[in-house]
Chains A and B, each alone.
Chain A
Amino acid sequence: MKRRLFVASSLSALGLTACGPVKDSLTNGPFRNVLLSTETLNHAVIGTHGMAREYNERDIDRDFRVNGLDTPSDALYSGLVRDRYRGYRLRVDGLVDRPQSLTLTQLRAAGERTQITRHDCVEGWSAIGKWRGVPLATVLAMAHPKATARYCVFHCFDSDESGTRYYESLDLHEAAHPQTLLALELNDEPLDPDHGAPVRLKIPTQLGYKSAKWVQRIELVADYKRIGGGNGGYWEDQGYEWYAGI
Chain B
Amino acid sequence: MTTSEAPPRPLTSVMDETPRERVYRHGVVARAAHWLWALAMLVLVMSGLQIFNAAPYLDASDKSNPARRVLAFGAERVAGVPVGTTTIFGVTLRTTHLLGYTDDGLGEEAPRAFPAWATLPGPQDLADGRRWHLTFAWALTIALAAYLVAAAARGTLRELVLRPSDVPKLWPMQLYYFRLRKEPPPHGTYNPLQKAAYTAVLFVFFPLIVLTGLTLSPGVDAAAPWLTALFGGRQFARTWHFLLMVLLVGYFLVHLTMVVTTGMWNNVRSMITGWYVLGEHDGVGP
Instruction: List which B223-271 residues lie within 8 A (CB) of chain A.
Output: 223-225, 228, 234-235, 238
The answer to whether A34 has its CB under 8 Å from any CB of chain B is yes
The answer to whether A27 has its CB under 8 Å from any CB of chain B is yes
Sample (11) of A-B pairs whose CB atoms are under 8 Å apart: A20-B116, A27-B131, A39-B134, A41-B138, A48-B222, A49-B223, A52-B218, A126-B235, A205-B218, A207-B218, A239-B125
Tell me whether B218 and A204 are in contact (CB under 8 A).
Answer: yes
The answer to whether B111 has its CB under 8 Å from any CB of chain A is no
Tell me whether A23 and B63 are in contact (CB under 8 A).
Answer: no
Contacts of A109 in B (CB 8 A): none
Tell me whether B55 and A51 are in contact (CB under 8 A).
Answer: no
Contacts of B224 in A (CB 8 A): 50
A20-B122, A38-B135 in contact; A123/B54 too (CB < 8 A)?
Answer: yes
Contacts of B121 in A (CB 8 A): 23-24, 27
Tell me whether A125 and B127 are in contact (CB under 8 A).
Answer: no
Contacts of B176 in A (CB 8 A): none
The answer to whether B120 has its CB under 8 Å from any CB of chain A is yes
Which residue of A has the minimal Cβ distance to B229?
A: A53
Contacts of A11 in B (CB 8 A): none
Which residue of B has the minimal Cβ distance to A43?
A: B219
Instruction: List which B119-142 residues lie within 8 A (CB) of chain A.
Output: 120-122, 125-128, 130-132, 134-135, 138
The answer to whether B52 has its CB under 8 Å from any CB of chain A is yes
Tell me whether B130 and A124 are in contact (CB under 8 A).
Answer: no
A126-B63, A126-B64 in contact; A50/B222 too (CB < 8 A)?
Answer: yes
Tell me whether B105 and A20 are in contact (CB under 8 A).
Answer: yes
The answer to whether B221 has its CB under 8 Å from any CB of chain A is yes
Q: Measured between alpha carbons, how far is A118 from B216 in the docked complex, in Å?
A: 12
Smallest CB–CB gap between A175 and chain B, Å?
15
Residues of B within 8 A of A (CB): 51-52, 54-55, 62-64, 105, 116-117, 120-122, 125-128, 130-132, 134-135, 138, 214, 216-225, 228, 234-235, 238
The answer to whether A112 has its CB under 8 Å from any CB of chain B is no
Tell me whether B217 and A122 are in contact (CB under 8 A).
Answer: no
Tell me whether A241 and B218 are in contact (CB under 8 A).
Answer: no
Q: Measured between alpha carbons, how far is A205 from B52 in the docked complex, in Å?
A: 21
Which residue of A has the minimal Cβ distance to B228?
A: A53
A20-B105, A42-B134, A246-B219 in contact; A124/B63 too (CB < 8 A)?
Answer: no
Smallest CB–CB gap between A246 and chain B, Å?
4
Tell me whether A124 and B238 are in contact (CB under 8 A).
Answer: yes
Contacts of A20 in B (CB 8 A): 105, 116, 122
Residue from B117, B131, B228 whose CB has the most chain A CB atoms within 10 Å: B131
A23-B121, A38-B135, A53-B225 in contact; A124/B51 too (CB < 8 A)?
Answer: yes
Which residue of B has the minimal Cβ distance to A129?
A: B63
